[in-house]
Amino acid sequence: MCWVTFFAIIWSIWIFQNKMMFTGKVLDQQEFFESILIRLGRWFRAKWGSTGVSLDYFLRAPQNFRVPNTHKNDTKRVIWTPPPCGAVKFNEDAGVVGSNGTVGIGGILSSLVIFSKSAGLTDPALVEVLAIKEALTIYSACKWSGTHKLIEENHRGMPKAVGQSRDIIEILREANGTADRLAKAGINRKVNLLSL
């Protein structure tokens, strides 16, 4: 009720100020406080009348009330998980400007290797495949390719496009944040970035 409380206080100050100026009323702090609570209670009942709370109960213990959360939280909290022992994880992503615009791709290999580069003008449907191809090229050149299993994480359904490979896992964009930022940075990149 924080923003409503602010307006209830301002409204009460304005009404009391007018009463003091035009009728000579003396400010009674208890009456002033109760008028704020009454305004808040009426607003609470008008907005959430179905809660079964009486105005009298609200006035006795206003600190016990919280504004009900009417928004459904559809967002899922996604946390990046490290790869299991004997594996490295490659998170890659692609960024596109417009429907047939400039493309950037980027990725990160278990905090060991990052890449970001412009892929020029490409069909947006092929952008994710380009990102996976670049990730596989970098992985095959790394010293871990012979000793560690590769787990690729991609957020746009590429397992379907690549033939349901068990090594490519679809994840939400929220857990692919670093790869997403690298891909967006690659859109206008003049010089490719590869950091080991």
Instruction: Looking at the structure, tell me whether residues 136 and 44 fall in a common domain.
Output: no
| Claim to verify: residue 100 and residue 37 sit in the same structural domain | no
| Residue that terminates a domain, selected from 12, 31, 64 | 64
* Residue 22 located in a structural domain: yes
Full domain range(s) for residue 177: 87-195
- Taking the chain (196 residues) in runs of 10, the rounded mean pLDDT of each run is 72 87 86 81 70 63 61 60 80 76 81 82 76 84 81 57 47 69 82 80
Q: pLDDT at position 44, please?
A: 73
Task: Assess whether 102 and 167 both reside in one domain.
Answer: yes
Q: 134 and 172, same structural domain?
A: yes
Considering the domain architecture, whether residues 143 and 49 belong to the same structural domain is answered as no
Query: Are 140 and 108 found together in one domain?
Result: yes
- Look at residue 71 and tell me if it is in a domain: no
Asked whether residue 184 is domain-assigned, the answer is yes
Res 48: pLDDT: 65
Are 94 and 172 in the same domain?
A: yes
Q: What is the CATH number of the domain that holds 106?
A: 3.30.420.10
pLDDT at 165: 43
Do 113 and 144 lie in a common domain?
A: yes
Output the six-digit token pair for 172.
Answer: 């939400």
Show which of 11, 29, 64 is a domain's final residue: 64
Q: Is residue 77 part of a domain?
A: no
Q: Is 75 a member of any domain?
A: no
Residue type at 18?
Answer: N
Tell me if 76 is assigned to some domain: no
**The total number of structural domains that make up the chain:** 2
pLDDT of residue 163: 41
> Cα separation of 45 and 55, whole Å?
7
Asked whether residue 79 is domain-assigned, the answer is no
Query: Is residue 74 domain-resident?
Result: no
